[in-house]
Amino acid sequence: MEGQESSCSSATPERSSNTPEPVRSSTSKHRKSPKRRREEKRSQCHHQDDQEHLLLPDGEQIRLPGQHEHSEPSGSSTAEMAETSPKRRAHFLHGPYPATHFGPKACILPNPTSVMHIQDPASQRLTWNKPPVNVLVIRKIRDESLVEPFKELCHFLVEEKGMLVFVERRVVADVSLTTDETFATIRKQLCTFREGYDDISHCIDLIICLGGDGTLLYASSLFQGSVPPVMAFHLGSLGFLTPFKFESYKTEVAKVFEGNAAITLRSRLKVKVVKDMLQRTGQPGQQQYQGSGGQGQVLNEVVVDRGPSSYLSNVDLYLDGRLITSVQGDGVIVSTPTGSTAYAAAAGASMIHPNVPAIMVTPICPHSLSFRPIVVPAGVELMITLSPDARNTCWVSFDGRKRQEISHGDCIKITTSCYPVPSICCHDLVYDWFESLAQCLHWNVRKKQARLADDNCLEEKGGGL
């Protein structure tokens, strides 16, 4: 047993400082073979690479087992490391890796043939860990034309599919639904919630939207973390983000329940408003520092404008802590690729496919002839503050909601969120986008130019130049 223990301890690569070194004979002190030296060097390189790449999104390093918290190089080694080692970045240009689990039961179908760390967006498919049960139905309010489609969908989900349907309380309180005796049985089985009071983010498996693009934006606002898959039916006025037709809703919903549906991961912006003001206390002549802020997820854009003021807005734009430029005009739009076809497109920005990792910065009526919209990497952090020379405050809104005033000392921090909105595709992510460009925005629609007649035809008709 003693021989076995000494052989095991000698084979262990790391030894405790309290364990005595076994006595070796002079004949055992041989030089290591070249193969052994190469293996040890390779293992040391891999260990160093692991320590360099195990970083959290905020730039914090994960401490590995056996790595001391207060161990620091001393003497000349510190100076050598300061000269040779590159400076670590707190943010990365490629953006955070998006979450692959959507709600409690949905996730991306893994692709075993993929050799890339980041899966090809064209191969992203929806699958279910468990059969979906809870379905959230969002209906456009104040639209009487959607009452019948809403009742048909609820009847199909409850009676035929055995689903538990969640709806807003104000939707069920509609007079057209409360007075309908044929819908009374279904209405009693619906689960209701109130926005801002009831948290349903951890119990919804699938979201079905009936209406226009606003229903998808509203669904995004309900889930500040992981978002369940969203299936949007075009029953509104524009419908750029709603590819499905309601006429075939039974077939389309059944396909989604079976899984393997194509999805588009629509990136969102993580926005944080930091209030940094000196507010007076109850006692005169004394002031105290108070810091507060709110954080949220934005699907389309963050808009900073001059509000009701008659002066130009004057805000400073920072990128990863560096001042890039000052925006003087009506304001600035920071949008996702999904939002590039909304307010940003009306302000003159380019339209970006949702799968392109980027953030678009678009000025609103800038007082400059050379201020064009720009596209920055998805991983940077943008910060917008009121310029010290600004004559008035500015206002900020998030997807057109929760508008608030920004004063001197406040700042808005914007970066790409790791919680995208998994939007289910009708056909595929490329065809659906170009179909929406053509049908909703009439992109590049014009009367085509007629071709010229051939020279032979001109000679037969006796024509010429």
Per domain, the residue ranges of the chain are 122-267+422-439, 269-279+288-418
Q: Which two tokens stand for residue 296?
A: 């949220």
Q: Please give the backbone phi and psi of residue 382, each rounded to the nearest 5 degrees, phi first.
A: -95, 145
Calculate what percentage of the chain has a pLDDT beyond 90.
58
Give burial (CB, 10 Å; 0-12/13-18/19+) of 207: buried
* CA distance readout (Å), 153 to 81, 245, 343, 445, 452: 64, 13, 32, 35, 54
Name every residue whose Cβ is closer than 8 Å to that of residue 29 and which is 6 or more positions away in sequence.
none
How confident is the model over 400-447, as pLDDT tens digits? 999 999 999 999 999 999 999 999 999 998 999 999 999 999 999 888
94-128 pLDDT, tens digit each = 677 788 888 888 888 877 655 445 667 878 899 99
What kind of fold does domain 122-267+422-439 have according to CATH?
Rossmann fold (3.40.50)
Instruction: Please state, rounded to an integer, the average pLDDT across all residues of the chain.
Output: 80
Residues 301 and 397: their CA atoms lie apart, in Å, by 8
Mean pLDDT of 179-204: 91
pLDDT band for position 338 (50/70/90)?
very high
Phi, then psi, of 256 in degrees rounded to 5: -65, -40
Handedness of CA 128, 357, 353, 116 (dihedral sign): negative
Strand partners for 14: none
C-beta atoms surrounding 427 within 10 Å: 10
In whole angstroms, give the CA distance from residue 367 to residue 371.
8
**Per-residue pLDDT at 397 exceeds 80:** yes
Query: Of 205, 213, 399, 410, which is the active-site residue?
Result: 213
Q: Please determine whether the domains at 122-267+422-439 and 269-279+288-418 fall in the same fold group of CATH.
A: no
Query: What topology does CATH give the domain 269-279+288-418?
Result: Tumour Suppressor Smad4 (2.60.200)
**201: CB partners within 8 A, 6+ apart:** 222, 223, 224, 225, 226
Which has more confidence, 460 or 413? 413
CB crowding 252-285: b at 16 or more within 10 Å, else e: bbeebeeeebbbbbbbbbbbebbbeeeeeeeeee
Greatest Cα-to-Cα distance within the chain, rounded to the nearest angstrom: 113
Q: How confident is the model at residue 460 (pLDDT cuts 50, 70, 90)?
A: low
Residue 51 DSSP one-character state: H
Q: What span, in angstroms and rounded, lies between the C-alpha atoms of 130 and 133?
A: 9
The 10s digit of each residue's pLDDT in 369-379 is: 999 999 999 99
49 is an active site residue: no
Residue 353: its H or E element: none
| Strand 164-168 versus strand 287-298 pairing type | unpaired
Residue in the block written with tokens 């044929």 = 182
Give residue 159's pLDDT band: very low, low, confident or very high (50, 70, 90): very high
Q: How far apart are CA 6 and CA 28, in angstroms?
A: 14
Torsion sign, CA atoms 24, 30, 35, 40 = positive
